Structure 1
Amino acid sequence: MKIIVQFSGGKDSHASLLWAVHRYGAENIQAVFCDTGWEHPLTYKHIQNVVKKLRVTLTTLTSKKYNNFIDLVAKKKRFPSTKARFCTEELKVKPFVDYILDEVQDHFIAVQGIRQDESTSRSKMTSMCRHFKFYLEPYGYTKEGKPKYHTYRKKEVLEYIRSYDDSILRPMFKWTAQDTIDFILTNGHIPNPLYLKGFSRVGCFPCIQCSHTEVKQLLKFYPNRIKELEAYEQELQTSFFSPDYIPKRFCSKTAIVKKGAKKDRIVAYPTTEDVTSYIQNKNATGDLFEQELPISCMSYYSLCE
Protein backbone atom coordinates (compact mmCIF):
# COMPACT_ATOMS: atom_id res chain seq x y z
CA MET A 1 0.00 0.00 0.00
CA LYS A 2 1.39 3.38 -1.02
CA ILE A 3 0.37 6.67 0.59
CA ILE A 4 0.43 9.46 -2.00
CA VAL A 5 -0.19 13.10 -1.10
CA GLN A 6 -1.04 15.37 -4.01
CA PHE A 7 0.95 18.46 -3.06
CA SER A 8 0.55 21.70 -5.04
CA GLY A 9 2.22 24.11 -2.62
CA GLY A 10 -1.11 25.63 -1.57
CA LYS A 11 -2.46 25.73 1.97
CA ASP A 12 -4.91 22.82 1.69
CA SER A 13 -2.45 20.32 0.22
CA HIS A 14 0.19 21.55 2.71
CA ALA A 15 -2.17 20.81 5.59
CA SER A 16 -3.01 17.42 4.07
CA LEU A 17 0.67 16.56 3.80
CA LEU A 18 1.18 17.44 7.47
CA TRP A 19 -1.85 15.33 8.40
CA ALA A 20 -0.54 12.36 6.41
CA VAL A 21 2.89 12.56 8.02
CA HIS A 22 1.28 12.51 11.48
CA ARG A 23 -0.98 9.62 10.47
CA TYR A 24 1.37 7.37 8.48
CA GLY A 25 4.92 8.59 9.18
CA ALA A 26 7.16 10.59 6.84
CA GLU A 27 9.02 7.49 5.66
CA ASN A 28 5.77 6.06 4.27
CA ILE A 29 4.67 9.17 2.36
CA GLN A 30 5.16 10.01 -1.30
CA ALA A 31 4.43 13.68 -2.08
CA VAL A 32 3.50 14.24 -5.73
CA PHE A 33 3.63 17.65 -7.40
CA CYS A 34 2.15 18.15 -10.88
CA ASP A 35 4.24 20.93 -12.41
CA THR A 36 2.39 23.06 -14.96
CA GLY A 37 5.43 25.22 -15.68
CA TRP A 38 3.25 28.21 -14.74
CA GLU A 39 3.91 28.42 -11.00
CA HIS A 40 5.52 31.29 -9.14
CA PRO A 41 9.20 30.80 -8.13
CA LEU A 42 8.14 31.19 -4.49
CA THR A 43 5.81 28.21 -4.88
CA TYR A 44 8.57 26.01 -6.27
CA LYS A 45 10.84 27.05 -3.40
CA HIS A 46 8.06 26.54 -0.84
CA ILE A 47 7.42 23.00 -2.05
CA GLN A 48 11.08 22.10 -1.70
CA ASN A 49 11.27 23.67 1.76
CA VAL A 50 8.23 21.78 3.04
CA VAL A 51 9.27 18.32 1.86
CA LYS A 52 12.81 18.90 3.13
CA LYS A 53 11.55 19.93 6.57
CA LEU A 54 9.22 16.93 6.75
CA ARG A 55 11.80 14.56 5.22
CA VAL A 56 9.26 13.38 2.70
CA THR A 57 10.14 12.08 -0.76
CA LEU A 58 8.91 14.30 -3.60
CA THR A 59 8.02 13.19 -7.12
CA THR A 60 7.44 15.92 -9.72
CA LEU A 61 5.19 15.07 -12.65
CA THR A 62 4.87 16.84 -15.99
CA SER A 63 2.75 16.30 -19.07
CA LYS A 64 4.09 13.86 -21.66
CA LYS A 65 2.30 15.79 -24.41
CA TYR A 66 2.90 19.45 -23.53
CA ASN A 67 6.08 21.14 -22.31
CA ASN A 68 4.22 23.52 -19.99
CA PHE A 69 1.14 25.73 -19.69
CA ILE A 70 2.17 28.10 -22.49
CA ASP A 71 2.97 25.21 -24.83
CA LEU A 72 -0.52 23.87 -24.11
CA VAL A 73 -2.07 27.26 -24.90
CA ALA A 74 -0.09 27.54 -28.13
CA LYS A 75 -1.16 24.11 -29.34
CA LYS A 76 -4.79 24.62 -28.30
CA LYS A 77 -4.66 28.13 -29.82
CA ARG A 78 -6.43 29.58 -26.79
CA PHE A 79 -6.13 30.02 -23.05
CA PRO A 80 -8.28 27.81 -20.79
CA SER A 81 -11.43 29.27 -19.28
CA THR A 82 -13.71 28.55 -16.35
CA LYS A 83 -15.94 26.55 -18.72
CA ALA A 84 -13.05 24.80 -20.49
CA ARG A 85 -10.39 24.06 -17.89
CA PHE A 86 -8.33 21.79 -20.08
CA CYS A 87 -5.23 23.01 -18.24
CA THR A 88 -6.14 20.93 -15.19
CA GLU A 89 -6.99 17.90 -17.32
CA GLU A 90 -3.83 17.97 -19.43
CA LEU A 91 -1.24 19.19 -16.93
CA LYS A 92 -2.43 17.60 -13.69
CA VAL A 93 -5.05 14.87 -14.12
CA LYS A 94 -3.47 12.94 -16.98
CA PRO A 95 0.11 13.08 -15.63
CA PHE A 96 -1.18 11.69 -12.32
CA VAL A 97 -3.03 8.87 -14.10
CA ASP A 98 0.18 8.08 -16.00
CA TYR A 99 2.08 8.02 -12.71
CA ILE A 100 -0.36 5.61 -11.07
CA LEU A 101 -0.47 3.22 -14.02
CA ASP A 102 3.21 3.33 -14.95
CA GLU A 103 5.01 3.72 -11.62
CA VAL A 104 2.80 2.91 -8.62
CA GLN A 105 1.44 -0.49 -9.64
CA ASP A 106 0.20 -1.20 -6.12
CA HIS A 107 -2.70 -0.49 -3.78
CA PHE A 108 -2.69 3.21 -2.95
CA ILE A 109 -4.40 5.91 -0.93
CA ALA A 110 -4.33 9.37 -2.51
CA VAL A 111 -4.58 12.11 0.13
CA GLN A 112 -6.12 15.28 -1.28
CA GLY A 113 -6.51 18.78 0.18
CA ILE A 114 -10.04 19.31 -1.08
CA ARG A 115 -12.57 21.16 1.08
CA GLN A 116 -16.33 21.18 0.61
CA ASP A 117 -16.73 24.95 1.03
CA GLU A 118 -14.41 25.79 -1.89
CA SER A 119 -17.10 25.54 -4.56
CA THR A 120 -20.50 24.07 -5.40
CA SER A 121 -18.94 21.19 -7.30
CA ARG A 122 -16.63 20.31 -4.42
CA SER A 123 -19.46 20.47 -1.92
CA LYS A 124 -20.97 17.50 -3.77
CA MET A 125 -17.87 15.40 -3.18
CA THR A 126 -17.26 13.18 -0.17
CA SER A 127 -14.41 12.82 2.31
CA MET A 128 -13.66 9.34 0.97
CA CYS A 129 -14.10 7.81 -2.48
CA ARG A 130 -12.29 6.06 -5.34
CA HIS A 131 -9.70 7.81 -7.49
CA PHE A 132 -10.97 6.19 -10.69
CA LYS A 133 -14.62 6.64 -9.72
CA PHE A 134 -15.71 8.28 -12.97
CA TYR A 135 -14.39 5.47 -15.11
CA LEU A 136 -17.15 3.36 -13.55
CA GLU A 137 -19.98 5.84 -13.06
CA PRO A 138 -20.94 8.97 -15.04
CA TYR A 139 -19.65 12.37 -13.96
CA GLY A 140 -22.38 14.05 -16.02
CA TYR A 141 -24.69 13.74 -19.00
CA THR A 142 -24.88 15.19 -22.50
CA LYS A 143 -27.84 17.28 -23.65
CA GLU A 144 -29.27 14.09 -25.11
CA GLY A 145 -29.03 12.37 -21.73
CA LYS A 146 -26.08 10.16 -22.63
CA PRO A 147 -23.76 9.46 -19.67
CA LYS A 148 -20.20 10.82 -19.77
CA TYR A 149 -17.23 8.91 -18.36
CA HIS A 150 -13.50 9.49 -18.04
CA THR A 151 -11.77 7.77 -20.93
CA TYR A 152 -8.03 8.53 -20.69
CA ARG A 153 -6.20 5.16 -20.78
CA LYS A 154 -9.51 3.57 -19.84
CA LYS A 155 -8.60 -0.02 -20.70
CA GLU A 156 -5.48 0.14 -18.52
CA VAL A 157 -7.35 1.84 -15.67
CA LEU A 158 -10.04 -0.86 -15.63
CA GLU A 159 -7.37 -3.55 -15.57
CA TYR A 160 -5.58 -1.72 -12.74
CA ILE A 161 -8.58 -1.48 -10.44
CA ARG A 162 -9.28 -5.19 -10.83
CA SER A 163 -6.05 -5.82 -8.95
CA TYR A 164 -5.47 -2.76 -6.78
CA ASP A 165 -7.34 -0.47 -4.41
CA ASP A 166 -7.55 3.19 -5.51
CA SER A 167 -8.84 5.01 -2.43
CA ILE A 168 -9.00 8.77 -1.88
CA LEU A 169 -8.91 10.46 1.53
CA ARG A 170 -9.79 14.13 2.00
CA PRO A 171 -8.95 14.82 5.66
CA MET A 172 -9.60 18.57 5.39
CA PHE A 173 -12.97 18.12 3.67
CA LYS A 174 -15.07 19.77 6.39
CA TRP A 175 -12.47 22.36 7.35
CA THR A 176 -12.56 26.06 6.51
CA ALA A 177 -9.70 27.83 4.75
CA GLN A 178 -8.73 29.43 8.04
CA ASP A 179 -8.70 25.99 9.71
CA THR A 180 -6.03 24.81 7.28
CA ILE A 181 -3.89 27.91 7.85
CA ASP A 182 -4.19 27.49 11.62
CA PHE A 183 -3.23 23.81 11.36
CA ILE A 184 -0.12 24.67 9.34
CA LEU A 185 0.96 27.34 11.83
CA THR A 186 0.25 25.13 14.84
CA ASN A 187 2.58 22.52 13.37
CA GLY A 188 5.44 25.00 13.13
CA HIS A 189 5.20 25.52 9.38
CA ILE A 190 4.77 28.66 7.29
CA PRO A 191 2.19 28.69 4.46
CA ASN A 192 3.16 29.65 0.92
CA PRO A 193 4.60 33.23 1.11
CA LEU A 194 2.24 34.38 -1.64
CA TYR A 195 -0.61 34.38 0.89
CA LEU A 196 1.24 37.14 2.75
CA LYS A 197 1.10 39.26 -0.39
CA GLY A 198 -2.69 39.09 -0.56
CA PHE A 199 -3.19 36.19 -2.96
CA SER A 200 -6.05 33.85 -2.08
CA ARG A 201 -4.86 31.08 -4.43
CA VAL A 202 -1.29 30.17 -5.28
CA GLY A 203 -1.55 27.30 -7.76
CA CYS A 204 -0.65 28.58 -11.26
CA PHE A 205 0.46 32.17 -11.43
CA PRO A 206 -1.91 33.60 -12.27
CA CYS A 207 -4.82 31.17 -12.42
CA ILE A 208 -7.44 31.71 -15.12
CA GLN A 209 -9.89 32.16 -12.23
CA CYS A 210 -7.92 34.91 -10.50
CA SER A 211 -9.92 37.71 -8.92
CA HIS A 212 -9.65 41.45 -9.61
CA THR A 213 -7.89 41.81 -6.28
CA GLU A 214 -5.28 39.25 -7.30
CA VAL A 215 -4.66 41.11 -10.56
CA LYS A 216 -4.19 44.24 -8.47
CA GLN A 217 -1.61 42.38 -6.36
CA LEU A 218 0.12 41.19 -9.53
CA LEU A 219 0.41 44.79 -10.70
CA LYS A 220 1.84 45.80 -7.35
CA PHE A 221 4.32 42.98 -6.71
CA TYR A 222 4.91 41.25 -10.04
CA PRO A 223 4.37 43.68 -12.94
CA ASN A 224 6.71 41.60 -15.10
CA ARG A 225 4.17 38.75 -15.03
CA ILE A 226 1.60 41.15 -16.44
CA LYS A 227 4.03 42.06 -19.22
CA GLU A 228 4.57 38.36 -19.93
CA LEU A 229 0.82 37.85 -20.25
CA GLU A 230 0.56 40.77 -22.65
CA ALA A 231 3.40 39.35 -24.74
CA TYR A 232 1.85 35.87 -24.85
CA GLU A 233 -1.49 37.35 -25.91
CA GLN A 234 0.22 39.20 -28.76
CA GLU A 235 2.18 36.15 -29.83
CA LEU A 236 -0.70 33.67 -29.61
CA GLN A 237 -3.48 36.07 -30.65
CA THR A 238 -5.77 35.06 -27.81
CA SER A 239 -6.87 36.49 -24.46
CA PHE A 240 -6.05 35.22 -20.98
CA PHE A 241 -9.21 36.72 -19.47
CA SER A 242 -12.82 35.69 -20.13
CA PRO A 243 -15.30 37.96 -21.99
CA ASP A 244 -17.21 38.79 -18.79
CA TYR A 245 -14.13 39.56 -16.67
CA ILE A 246 -14.70 43.31 -16.94
CA PRO A 247 -17.65 45.33 -18.36
CA LYS A 248 -17.97 45.10 -22.15
CA ARG A 249 -17.46 48.82 -22.68
CA PHE A 250 -13.88 48.47 -21.43
CA CYS A 251 -13.03 45.60 -23.82
CA SER A 252 -11.04 46.45 -26.94
CA LYS A 253 -11.41 43.15 -28.80
CA THR A 254 -14.33 41.31 -30.38
CA ALA A 255 -14.79 37.83 -31.76
CA ILE A 256 -17.52 36.07 -33.72
CA VAL A 257 -18.92 33.12 -31.81
CA LYS A 258 -20.54 30.49 -34.00
CA LYS A 259 -23.69 28.97 -32.53
CA GLY A 260 -24.31 26.11 -34.95
CA ALA A 261 -27.83 26.37 -36.34
CA LYS A 262 -28.41 29.57 -34.40
CA LYS A 263 -27.30 33.00 -35.53
CA ASP A 264 -23.64 33.83 -34.91
CA ARG A 265 -23.02 36.54 -32.35
CA ILE A 266 -20.26 39.06 -31.70
CA VAL A 267 -18.65 38.86 -28.26
CA ALA A 268 -16.47 41.55 -26.68
CA TYR A 269 -13.46 40.33 -24.72
CA PRO A 270 -10.63 42.08 -22.86
CA THR A 271 -6.89 41.97 -23.34
CA THR A 272 -4.62 41.92 -20.30
CA GLU A 273 -3.96 45.60 -20.96
CA ASP A 274 -7.72 46.30 -20.87
CA VAL A 275 -8.04 44.46 -17.56
CA THR A 276 -5.13 46.19 -15.87
CA SER A 277 -6.28 49.62 -17.09
CA TYR A 278 -9.77 48.97 -15.78
CA ILE A 279 -8.51 47.83 -12.37
CA GLN A 280 -6.00 50.65 -12.02
CA ASN A 281 -8.53 53.33 -12.95
CA LYS A 282 -11.47 52.00 -11.01
CA ASN A 283 -12.31 53.77 -7.76
CA ALA A 284 -11.15 51.84 -4.71
CA THR A 285 -14.71 51.12 -3.57
CA GLY A 286 -17.54 48.76 -4.33
CA ASP A 287 -17.28 45.52 -6.24
CA LEU A 288 -13.54 45.66 -6.87
CA PHE A 289 -12.99 44.46 -3.31
CA GLU A 290 -16.10 42.37 -2.84
CA GLN A 291 -14.07 39.15 -2.81
CA GLU A 292 -11.79 40.24 0.01
CA LEU A 293 -12.25 39.27 3.62
CA PRO A 294 -12.69 42.02 6.24
CA ILE A 295 -9.14 41.85 7.58
CA SER A 296 -6.70 44.52 8.63
CA CYS A 297 -3.47 43.15 7.14
CA MET A 298 -2.57 42.47 3.54
CA SER A 299 -2.62 38.69 3.96
CA TYR A 300 -5.80 37.02 2.77
CA TYR A 301 -5.78 34.87 5.92
CA SER A 302 -4.58 37.43 8.48
CA LEU A 303 -1.14 35.82 8.62
CA CYS A 304 0.59 39.00 9.74
CA GLU A 305 -1.59 39.46 12.80
Structure 2
Amino acid sequence: MSKAPRHILSLSGGKDSAALAVYMRDRVPEMEYIFHDSGKELRETEDYLARLEAYLGKPIARTTSGNTFDHWLKVYGNMIPSNHRRWCTRMLKLKPFEDYVGTDPVINYVGLRADEDREGYISHKPNIKAVYPFREDGLVRADIIRILEESGLGLPPYMAWGRSRSGCYFCFYQQRIEWVRLKEKHPDLFEEAKNYEAKSLEHGGPFYWNANESLTELERPERMTEIKREWEESQARKRGAATKRRLIQVLCDDADEDEPEKSEGCLICSI
Protein backbone atom coordinates (compact mmCIF):
# COMPACT_ATOMS: atom_id res chain seq x y z
CA MET A 1 0.00 0.00 0.00
CA SER A 2 1.40 3.39 -0.98
CA LYS A 3 1.96 5.94 1.75
CA ALA A 4 -0.58 8.77 1.97
CA PRO A 5 0.94 12.12 1.03
CA ARG A 6 1.67 14.80 3.58
CA HIS A 7 0.10 18.20 2.99
CA ILE A 8 2.56 21.05 3.53
CA LEU A 9 2.21 24.80 3.14
CA SER A 10 5.37 26.92 3.29
CA LEU A 11 4.86 30.37 4.81
CA SER A 12 7.07 33.29 3.86
CA GLY A 13 5.55 35.93 6.12
CA GLY A 14 3.97 37.51 3.04
CA LYS A 15 0.33 38.18 2.29
CA ASP A 16 -0.22 35.44 -0.31
CA SER A 17 1.05 32.48 1.70
CA ALA A 18 -0.74 33.79 4.81
CA ALA A 19 -4.00 34.10 2.86
CA LEU A 20 -3.51 30.61 1.45
CA ALA A 21 -3.08 29.23 4.97
CA VAL A 22 -6.35 30.89 5.99
CA TYR A 23 -8.05 29.68 2.80
CA MET A 24 -6.92 26.07 3.27
CA ARG A 25 -7.28 25.78 7.06
CA ASP A 26 -10.69 24.10 7.04
CA ARG A 27 -10.29 22.52 3.60
CA VAL A 28 -7.22 20.49 4.63
CA PRO A 29 -7.29 20.01 8.42
CA GLU A 30 -4.16 17.83 8.33
CA MET A 31 -2.06 20.60 6.76
CA GLU A 32 1.47 21.14 8.10
CA TYR A 33 2.60 24.76 8.19
CA ILE A 34 6.31 25.54 8.00
CA PHE A 35 8.51 28.63 7.97
CA HIS A 36 12.14 28.75 6.85
CA ASP A 37 13.56 31.20 9.38
CA SER A 38 16.74 32.88 8.14
CA GLY A 39 17.32 34.56 11.50
CA LYS A 40 17.19 37.91 9.68
CA GLU A 41 13.48 38.51 9.43
CA LEU A 42 11.77 41.77 10.26
CA ARG A 43 10.22 41.96 13.71
CA GLU A 44 6.91 42.69 11.99
CA THR A 45 7.18 39.37 10.15
CA GLU A 46 7.72 37.42 13.36
CA ASP A 47 4.74 39.15 14.99
CA TYR A 48 2.54 38.46 11.98
CA LEU A 49 3.46 34.77 11.96
CA ALA A 50 2.63 34.53 15.66
CA ARG A 51 -0.83 35.95 14.99
CA LEU A 52 -1.30 33.59 12.05
CA GLU A 53 -0.25 30.66 14.21
CA ALA A 54 -2.95 31.56 16.74
CA TYR A 55 -5.54 31.78 13.97
CA LEU A 56 -4.58 28.39 12.52
CA GLY A 57 -4.70 26.75 15.93
CA LYS A 58 -1.57 24.70 15.34
CA PRO A 59 2.18 25.41 15.42
CA ILE A 60 4.15 26.71 12.48
CA ALA A 61 7.28 24.55 12.36
CA ARG A 62 10.65 26.29 11.94
CA THR A 63 12.88 24.29 9.61
CA THR A 64 16.35 25.85 9.73
CA SER A 65 17.58 24.10 12.92
CA GLY A 66 20.03 26.81 13.95
CA ASN A 67 21.85 27.01 10.62
CA THR A 68 20.68 30.52 9.91
CA PHE A 69 22.16 33.27 7.72
CA ASP A 70 25.27 33.93 9.82
CA HIS A 71 26.25 30.25 9.71
CA TRP A 72 26.03 30.04 5.93
CA LEU A 73 27.70 33.44 5.46
CA LYS A 74 30.83 32.03 7.12
CA VAL A 75 30.64 28.89 4.98
CA TYR A 76 30.57 31.10 1.86
CA GLY A 77 33.56 33.16 2.96
CA ASN A 78 31.56 36.23 4.07
CA MET A 79 30.42 36.82 0.50
CA ILE A 80 26.93 38.29 0.78
CA PRO A 81 24.37 36.74 -1.57
CA SER A 82 23.21 38.52 -4.69
CA ASN A 83 21.02 37.93 -7.70
CA HIS A 84 23.97 36.02 -9.22
CA ARG A 85 24.90 34.15 -6.02
CA ARG A 86 21.62 33.15 -4.39
CA TRP A 87 23.06 30.78 -1.85
CA CYS A 88 20.62 32.23 0.69
CA THR A 89 17.64 30.78 -1.19
CA ARG A 90 19.34 27.44 -1.68
CA MET A 91 20.65 26.97 1.87
CA LEU A 92 18.06 28.83 3.95
CA LYS A 93 14.88 27.97 2.06
CA LEU A 94 15.15 25.05 -0.38
CA LYS A 95 17.49 22.81 1.59
CA PRO A 96 15.54 23.11 4.88
CA PHE A 97 12.33 22.44 2.97
CA GLU A 98 13.67 19.31 1.29
CA ASP A 99 15.27 18.10 4.54
CA TYR A 100 11.97 18.59 6.35
CA VAL A 101 10.09 16.65 3.67
CA GLY A 102 12.60 13.83 3.38
CA THR A 103 11.44 11.03 1.09
CA ASP A 104 7.76 11.20 2.02
CA PRO A 105 5.24 11.90 -0.72
CA VAL A 106 4.18 15.51 -0.29
CA ILE A 107 1.60 17.87 -1.74
CA ASN A 108 3.10 21.36 -1.44
CA TYR A 109 0.61 24.24 -1.47
CA VAL A 110 1.90 27.40 -3.18
CA GLY A 111 0.23 30.82 -3.05
CA LEU A 112 0.60 31.96 -6.66
CA ARG A 113 -2.48 33.91 -7.71
CA ALA A 114 -4.50 33.81 -10.91
CA ASP A 115 -3.44 37.38 -11.80
CA GLU A 116 0.31 36.79 -11.52
CA ASP A 117 2.67 36.28 -14.43
CA ARG A 118 5.51 34.47 -12.72
CA GLU A 119 6.83 31.02 -12.09
CA GLY A 120 9.43 29.84 -9.63
CA TYR A 121 11.50 26.89 -8.52
CA ILE A 122 10.27 25.19 -5.38
CA SER A 123 11.74 21.70 -5.63
CA HIS A 124 12.49 19.18 -8.34
CA LYS A 125 12.35 16.19 -6.00
CA PRO A 126 10.02 13.59 -7.53
CA ASN A 127 8.19 13.00 -4.24
CA ILE A 128 7.02 16.64 -4.06
CA LYS A 129 4.00 17.78 -6.05
CA ALA A 130 3.21 21.51 -6.11
CA VAL A 131 -0.41 22.67 -6.29
CA TYR A 132 -1.75 26.22 -6.74
CA PRO A 133 -5.21 26.60 -5.17
CA PHE A 134 -5.56 30.32 -5.90
CA ARG A 135 -4.83 29.80 -9.59
CA GLU A 136 -7.10 26.78 -9.75
CA ASP A 137 -9.95 28.74 -8.14
CA GLY A 138 -9.32 31.97 -10.07
CA LEU A 139 -8.45 34.10 -7.04
CA VAL A 140 -6.70 37.42 -7.63
CA ARG A 141 -5.09 40.09 -5.46
CA ALA A 142 -8.40 41.59 -4.34
CA ASP A 143 -9.53 38.16 -3.13
CA ILE A 144 -6.34 37.71 -1.10
CA ILE A 145 -6.86 41.07 0.63
CA ARG A 146 -10.48 40.16 1.33
CA ILE A 147 -9.49 36.80 2.83
CA LEU A 148 -6.98 38.45 5.16
CA GLU A 149 -9.35 41.23 6.18
CA GLU A 150 -12.24 38.85 6.87
CA SER A 151 -9.98 36.61 8.96
CA GLY A 152 -8.95 39.54 11.14
CA LEU A 153 -5.27 39.16 10.26
CA GLY A 154 -5.11 41.97 7.74
CA LEU A 155 -2.06 42.63 5.60
CA PRO A 156 1.48 42.09 6.96
CA PRO A 157 2.31 45.16 9.07
CA TYR A 158 5.54 45.94 7.18
CA MET A 159 3.40 46.88 4.19
CA ALA A 160 2.09 49.86 6.17
CA TRP A 161 5.52 51.55 5.93
CA GLY A 162 6.02 50.71 2.29
CA ARG A 163 7.89 47.41 2.15
CA SER A 164 6.58 45.22 -0.64
CA ARG A 165 8.04 41.82 0.26
CA SER A 166 8.69 39.43 3.09
CA GLY A 167 12.06 37.78 3.59
CA CYS A 168 15.33 39.04 5.03
CA TYR A 169 15.45 42.73 5.85
CA PHE A 170 18.51 43.05 3.59
CA CYS A 171 17.03 41.18 0.63
CA PHE A 172 18.89 42.25 -2.53
CA TYR A 173 15.61 42.28 -4.46
CA GLN A 174 14.46 45.35 -2.54
CA GLN A 175 13.87 48.57 -4.42
CA ARG A 176 15.95 51.59 -3.46
CA ILE A 177 12.89 53.24 -1.91
CA GLU A 178 12.54 50.21 0.36
CA TRP A 179 16.11 50.63 1.56
CA VAL A 180 15.31 54.26 2.33
CA ARG A 181 12.24 53.21 4.31
CA LEU A 182 14.23 50.54 6.16
CA LYS A 183 16.73 53.23 7.13
CA GLU A 184 13.91 55.40 8.47
CA LYS A 185 11.84 52.66 10.15
CA HIS A 186 14.57 50.31 11.40
CA PRO A 187 17.90 52.20 11.44
CA ASP A 188 19.48 49.43 13.53
CA LEU A 189 18.72 46.84 10.84
CA PHE A 190 20.00 49.18 8.13
CA GLU A 191 23.28 49.47 10.08
CA GLU A 192 23.52 45.68 10.33
CA ALA A 193 23.03 45.40 6.57
CA LYS A 194 25.79 47.99 6.05
CA ASN A 195 28.13 46.00 8.29
CA TYR A 196 27.50 42.80 6.33
CA GLU A 197 28.18 44.68 3.11
CA ALA A 198 31.42 46.22 4.41
CA LYS A 199 32.69 42.89 5.75
CA SER A 200 31.94 41.19 2.45
CA LEU A 201 33.89 43.85 0.55
CA GLU A 202 36.85 43.32 2.90
CA HIS A 203 36.86 39.65 1.86
CA GLY A 204 36.80 40.48 -1.85
CA GLY A 205 33.04 40.41 -2.34
CA PRO A 206 32.18 41.96 -5.72
CA PHE A 207 28.61 42.96 -4.87
CA TYR A 208 26.65 45.46 -2.84
CA TRP A 209 23.21 44.59 -1.51
CA ASN A 210 21.75 47.11 -3.93
CA ALA A 211 23.36 46.41 -7.33
CA ASN A 212 26.14 48.96 -7.92
CA GLU A 213 25.35 51.36 -5.08
CA SER A 214 26.60 50.80 -1.54
CA LEU A 215 24.34 51.45 1.42
CA THR A 216 26.81 54.07 2.63
CA GLU A 217 26.24 55.97 -0.61
CA LEU A 218 22.51 55.37 -0.57
CA GLU A 219 22.00 56.74 2.96
CA ARG A 220 23.41 60.18 2.16
CA PRO A 221 20.58 62.66 2.86
CA GLU A 222 20.68 64.16 -0.61
CA ARG A 223 20.62 60.68 -2.18
CA MET A 224 17.68 59.57 -0.04
CA THR A 225 15.81 62.74 -1.04
CA GLU A 226 16.54 61.97 -4.70
CA ILE A 227 15.30 58.39 -4.38
CA LYS A 228 12.08 59.56 -2.74
CA ARG A 229 11.51 62.13 -5.47
CA GLU A 230 12.12 59.58 -8.23
CA TRP A 231 9.76 57.13 -6.56
CA GLU A 232 7.01 59.73 -6.18
CA GLU A 233 7.40 60.68 -9.86
CA SER A 234 7.16 57.03 -10.91
CA GLN A 235 4.00 56.61 -8.81
CA ALA A 236 2.47 59.68 -10.44
CA ARG A 237 3.18 58.22 -13.88
CA LYS A 238 1.55 54.93 -12.85
CA ARG A 239 -1.53 56.76 -11.57
CA GLY A 240 -1.75 58.63 -14.85
CA ALA A 241 -1.43 55.41 -16.82
CA ALA A 242 -4.11 53.80 -14.65
CA THR A 243 -6.47 56.72 -15.30
CA LYS A 244 -5.95 56.40 -19.06
CA ARG A 245 -6.51 52.64 -18.81
CA ARG A 246 -9.81 53.15 -17.03
CA LEU A 247 -10.92 55.53 -19.82
CA ILE A 248 -10.06 52.85 -22.37
CA GLN A 249 -12.14 50.38 -20.35
CA VAL A 250 -15.15 52.70 -20.63
CA LEU A 251 -14.74 52.77 -24.40
CA CYS A 252 -13.77 49.13 -24.79
CA ASP A 253 -15.45 46.86 -22.27
CA ASP A 254 -13.25 43.84 -23.00
CA ALA A 255 -10.15 45.49 -21.49
CA ASP A 256 -8.84 43.88 -18.31
CA GLU A 257 -9.55 45.63 -15.01
CA ASP A 258 -6.02 44.96 -13.81
CA GLU A 259 -2.90 43.93 -15.63
CA PRO A 260 -1.33 40.70 -14.30
CA GLU A 261 0.99 41.57 -11.45
CA LYS A 262 4.64 40.80 -12.06
CA SER A 263 7.27 40.44 -9.35
CA GLU A 264 10.95 39.75 -9.20
CA GLY A 265 12.47 37.63 -6.50
CA CYS A 266 12.77 34.18 -5.05
CA LEU A 267 9.40 32.46 -5.14
CA ILE A 268 9.90 30.52 -1.93
CA CYS A 269 10.92 33.73 -0.08
CA SER A 270 8.33 36.19 -1.22
CA ILE A 271 4.93 34.55 -1.67
What TM-score does the superposition give when structure 2 sets the normalisation length?
0.73
Query: Which residue type is aligned with residue 229 of structure 2?
Result: T
- CA gap 1:289/1:206 in 2 versus in 1, 3 angstroms: farther
Percent identity of paired positions between Structure 1 and Structure 2 = 24
Q: Which residue of 1 aligns with 2:6?
A: 2
In structure 2, the partner of 1:39 is 41
CA shift, 1:117, in A, is 5.3
Instruction: Give 1:178 shift.
Output: 3.9
Q: Which has the higher contact order (CA 8 A, sep 6+)?
A: 2
- Choose the corresponding residue for 2:190, options 208, 226, 243: 226
Alpha-carbon shift at residue 285 of structure 1 (Å): 3.2
**Is the Cα–Cα contact under 8 Å of residues 12 and 172 in structure 1 kept in the other structure?**
no
1:170 corresponding residue in structure 2? 132
RMSD, aligned α-carbons: 2.7
**Residue 162 of structure 2 contacts residue 181 of structure 2 at CA under 8 Å; is this kept in 1?**
yes
Normalised to the residue count of structure 1, the TM-score between the two structures is 0.65
Q: Counterparts of 1:209-220 in structure 2 under 5 Å?
A: 209-220=173-184
Q: Measure, in 2, the Cα distance between the counterparts of 1:206 and 1:119.
A: 25
Structure 2 residue aligned with 1:204: 168
Alpha-carbon contact 1:212-1:279 (below 8 Å) kept: no
Pick from 111, 114, 128 the counterpart of residue 113 of structure 1.
111
Structure 2 runs not aligned, ≥5 long = 240-271
Match of 2:32 among 20, 30, 33: 30
Call closer, same or farther: CA 1:56–1:198 in 2, change over 3 Å. Answer: same
Aligned counterpart, 1:78:
79
Residues 10 and 201, structure 1, Cα contact 8 Å, conserved in 2: yes
Shift of 1:211: 0.6
Pairing partner for 2:24 from 15, 20, 44 = 20
Which amino acid counterpart does residue 105 of structure 2 have in structure 1?
Answer: H
User: 1:185-236: per-residue Cα shift (whole Å, max 9, x none)?
Assistant: 1233222211111111122113110012211211221111111122222333
Q: Which has the higher helix share?
A: 2
CA distance in 2, matches of 1:271, 1:197: 22
**Residue-pair matches, total:** 226
Q: Which residue of 1 aligns with 2:262?
A: none
- Segments of 5+ residues of structure 1 without an aligned counterpart are 126-130, 136-157, 244-268, 295-305
Q: Which residue of 215, 218, 221 corresponds with 1:275?
A: 218
Deviation at 1:271, TM superposition (A): 1.9
Q: Distance in 2 between matches of 1:29 and 1:289?
A: 44
Deviating more after overlay: 272-281 vs 87-96: 272-281
Q: State the SS of the aligned residue for 1:78.
A: coil
Of the candidates 255, 280, 285, which is equivalent to residue 229 of structure 2? 285
Deviation at 1:86, TM superposition (A): 1.8
1:195–1:202 CA contact under 8 A, matched in 2: no
Residue in 2 that maps onto 1:62? 64
Give the structure 1 partner of residue 245 of structure 2: none
Q: Distance in 2 between matches of 1:111 and 1:283?
A: 37
Query: CA separation in 1, counterparts of 2:115 and 2:232?
Result: 22
